[in-house]
Amino acid sequence: MDIIFLVFLIVFFIGAKFHFKDVNDEYISRRQTQCINGFFVLIVFIQHFKGYVKLGDYDMIYNNIANWSGQLLVVPFLFFSGYGIMLSISKKGKPYVNSIILKRFPKIWTHFALAIVLFIITNLIIGKTFPPTKLIFTFLGWDGIGNSNWYIFDTLVLYILTFLSFRFVGTNRRLGLFIMALLTSAFVIAMSHFKPGYWYNTVIAYLMGMIFATIEPSFKKIMSSGILNYIILTTFGIIIISLAVKDKAKLTSYEVFVIAGIVLLLALSLKVRFSNPIIEFLGKYVFEIYILQRIPMILLKPYIPQKYIFFAVSFIATIIFAFLFRFIEKPVDKLIDGQLFKKTKPLPDEKNC
């Protein structure tokens, strides 16, 4: 895994432009966030893959990094998603808020449900079957049959909370954010009684993305005013994440850990403009790669004992599956946009992840 991680890291920085004397004006543009998401979905792939192989001497560096970073791997997805949704709410108002529950939610859930069908078929191929109750909870995202479910469950809940927070506040965005903060906190506390920490300890990143969308112009102005402000920001992030990582078992410490991770991510993006077309392409297929990557791993594990060949074939198969899955998603999305809710004016689906 060490070699693979190093290769991905090098590819990530190929074509990057470094802004040593100024600030990257596109530090949170669609292209920039897609590149960042593209890199992190690759790291998520490695993280999931290592659960299907035996680690060796050349896997320890990455394994230590992964153990240290924990759930930070998904923080960019949630942060950029919250940021993009808040921008759209600010620009489009109530119609967009309605579309979150009428279009965005059913699209994501339908894509998720289609992926579960593929996992059911995958399990049937290897001789596994499941009771109806487990399948029902799997489609709800509360359980799984080998698929990645917690992230989708959290995303769908966050969509519902966003709708509830902004549906009735009119133009008062601050009130909407306040309600969203209360509902997110309630969700985290409730989930802590039913699920392990990774189910809920990063959802704050989505809320932070929404808050950041409201202060981004001021933040950019401050960061552009001088290198000292950037140094202070970066130093603050490093110190806080170093302190918080020592006690990640506590929820409050983990939330600070996540926020510090966001600060360092922004600090990196302010100084490096990523433009690798391969990483950007992968960033456009984050959902499909994330949700489907375990299928080739499950199917190919018994037949490819060599770790690196297993990785390469699984990775290529995942990209192919993701590309083909997008063709299935398109008609489903059109059905939701044009047939199920004819009275709702179609809105562009502006998402950063």
Type of residue at 299 = L
Type of residue at 185 = S
> Which residues are registered as beta bridge partners of 169?
none
Alpha-carbon dihedral 139, 140, 146, 150, rounded to 10 degrees: 150
Question: Does an H or E element contain 252, and which?
Answer: helix 251-271
Please give the Cα distance from 325 to 292 (Å, whole number).
Answer: 9
Successive 10-residue mean pLDDT values, the chain, 353 residues:
87 91 91 94 91 81 80 92 95 92 93 95 94 95 91 96 92 92 96 93 95 93 85 84 72 87 92 92 94 94 91 95 92 77 49 45
pLDDT at 96: 93
Of the candidates 317, 184, 139, 333, which has an alpha carbon nearest to the alpha carbon of residue 309? Answer: 317
Q: Which backbone phi and psi does 264 adopt, to 5 degrees?
A: -70, -35
- The three-point CA angle 202-43-61 to 5° equals 105
pLDDT at 248: 67
pLDDT at 64: 81
pLDDT at 246: 66
pLDDT at 348: 46
Burial class (CB in 10 A: 0-12, 13-18, 19+), 153: buried
Residue 21 DSSP one-character state? S
Of the candidates 160, 146, 46, 48, which has an alpha carbon nearest to the alpha carbon of residue 104? Answer: 160
pLDDT at 285: 94
C-alpha distances in angstroms, 228 versus 25, 225, 231? 18, 9, 5
- For residue 243, the number of C-alpha atoms closer than 13 Å in the C-beta half-sphere is 12
Please give the Cα distance from 235 to 229 (Å, whole number).
Answer: 10
pLDDT at 351: 45
